Amino acid sequence: MQANESRAFTSLRIGPLTLRNRFIKSATNEGSARGGTATKRLVQFHEAIAAGGVGMTTVAYCAVAPDGRTFIDQVTLDAAQVPHLKVVTDAVHRHGAGAAAQITHGGCFTFVPPVETARPLSASGGFNKVGVLSGQWRRQAMTVADMERVAGEFVRGARLAREAGFDAVEIHMGHGYLLSQFLSPLYNRRSDAYGGDVRGRARFPVQVLERVLEAVGREMAVVCKISVTEGTRGGNTAADGAEIAKLLEAAGAHLLVLSAGLNIESITTMFGSSFPKELRGQVSNPIVAMAMFIQRFTEPKNVQFHELYQLENSRKTRAATKMPLAYLGGVKSLANVGQIMDEGFDAIALGRVLIHQADLVDAFATGRVLESGCTSCNRCVAMMYTPGGTSCVLGTPGDATLNATPAAA
């Protein structure tokens, strides 16, 4: 193994947490939280990845409040979830890996009727594109009181995650969810202190980060996931992404995970390639179906996958900051890992390749595998809402019985 590749297997400190190596399983919605409850299949999914050698695995898409859900079958952080999630974190810890909970609020990206408000919340009011399918045609601009409440929900979510044994929380600020709606000029048209230039648009996300850091930052790593570019006309560019990263660095974030794109407007940017045409007809989940439908009109056709497809955009954030950064997007081989280390990133986040092969990190370490067999076909995205949950179409589907059984049952 080359020296730059070996560095990926050395420990990494992020805030109060030390990881055994620099590989982080990126959050990929597991489709394993029926009615909001973590299932035994969620335990199995993360246990396999922890046993397979990562430094930390991330439980995807945990809503901080009922109002913050995008859909019903999504982990919802409340006291009743703690025993179920504790089974997940215990299983991960048994194999020496860390566990992160991605904490999120969907804002207007929701298919669940709002609980606290008449309309789904967002940075600004007006027409809600997602409402085309959910019937919630209009979104509601958040007041300062709403922001105070939602920041409190993130704090409560982080504290519950800690109670459930998580070592880190990853605040989701990318992909078009609530905090990303504040950051994005496409969604944020505010004329008060929470809108305008990058600093104004980042004000609320930064406040959420500060509140979470204050509440749990001494005991847990506090990570932010951002879209370094939104990859669509009128959206944040890589230069804006670097500015956002600087603000999060100044606020004290322990690590940034550098993603890209928005669910509705630029999902190709997120995945680095188009979705196969035939997949559109097979997708039963409304979120994915709609993203694919809109993609037909808004996205470049037939974008071909290439390795490290976010490198150019992420380099700008690397150059602008000194803080720990995790590169994400199209890491396929041990050589890619070495290059990411050479480029000065601190960690490597992996999504699809670990869905394809849970023990890829160990396989890289021993030289058993030098390049992932994942074909980057994106078909696992359509598997998210199948009875067995997210899995690679080249492997064995998830166990539907485990996926219907609460983790602590």
- The separation between CA 96 and the C-alpha centre of its own chain, rounded to angstroms, equals 22
Closest distance between ligand SF4 and the C-beta of residue 153, in Å? Answer: 32
Residue 26 touches which of ligand FMN, ligand SF4, none (Cβ within 5-8 Å per kind): ligand FMN
Asked if residue 380 binds ligand SF4 (CB under 6 A), the reply is yes
Asked if residue 91 binds ligand SF4 (CB under 6 A), the reply is no
Catalytic: which of 177, 187, 194, 327?
Answer: 177
Binding ligand SF4 (rule: CB under 6 A), the pick from 221, 360, 374, 384 is: 374
Instruction: List, in order, residues 6 or more apart from 241 with CB less than 8 Å away.
Output: 226, 227, 228, 229, 258, 260, 313, 316, 317
Q: How far is CA 380 from CA 53, 211, 351, in A?
A: 22, 35, 11
- The Cα 150–Cα 397 span in angstroms is 37
Phi-psi region of 228 (alpha: psi -120 to 50; beta: other; left: phi over 0): alpha
Q: Is 82 helix (H, G, I), strand (E, B) or coil?
A: helix
Binding ligand SF4 (rule: CB under 6 A), the pick from 97, 392, 402, 407 is: 392
Residue with Cβ nearer ligand SF4 (375 or 405): 375
Binding ligand SF4 (rule: CB under 6 A), the pick from 378, 388, 402, 403 is: 378
Closest distance between ligand SF4 and the C-beta of residue 219, in Å? Answer: 34
Binding ligand SF4 (rule: CB under 6 A), the pick from 375, 387, 405, 408 is: 375
Residue 313 touches which of ligand FMN, ligand SF4, none (Cβ within 5-8 Å per kind): none
For tokens 């996926």, the residue is 403
Q: What are phi and psi of 127, to 5 degrees?
A: -65, 135
- Active-site residue 385, yes or no? no
Binding ligand SF4 (rule: CB under 6 A), the pick from 251, 320, 393, 408 is: 393
Q: What are phi and psi of 73, to 5 degrees?
A: -85, 65
Closest distance between ligand SF4 and the C-beta of residue 321, in Å? Answer: 30
Residue 60 touches which of ligand SF4, ligand FMN, none (Cβ within 5-8 Å per kind): ligand FMN
Beta carbons of 170 and 102 less than 8 angstroms apart: yes
Asked if residue 352 binds ligand SF4 (CB under 6 A), the reply is yes
Tokens of 357: 């092969």
Residues within the interface to ligand FMN (CB under 6 A):
26-29, 60-61, 102, 172, 175, 225, 259, 270-271, 328-331, 350-352, 380-381, 384, 390
Q: How many residues does the chain have?
A: 409
Q: What are phi and psi of 352, to 5 degrees?
A: -60, -40
Q: What are phi and psi of 225, to 5 degrees?
A: -105, 125
Asked if residue 394 binds ligand SF4 (CB under 6 A), the reply is yes
Q: Among all residues, which ones are annotated catalytic?
A: 177
* Binding residues vs ligand SF4 (CB under 6 A): 352, 355-356, 374-380, 392-394
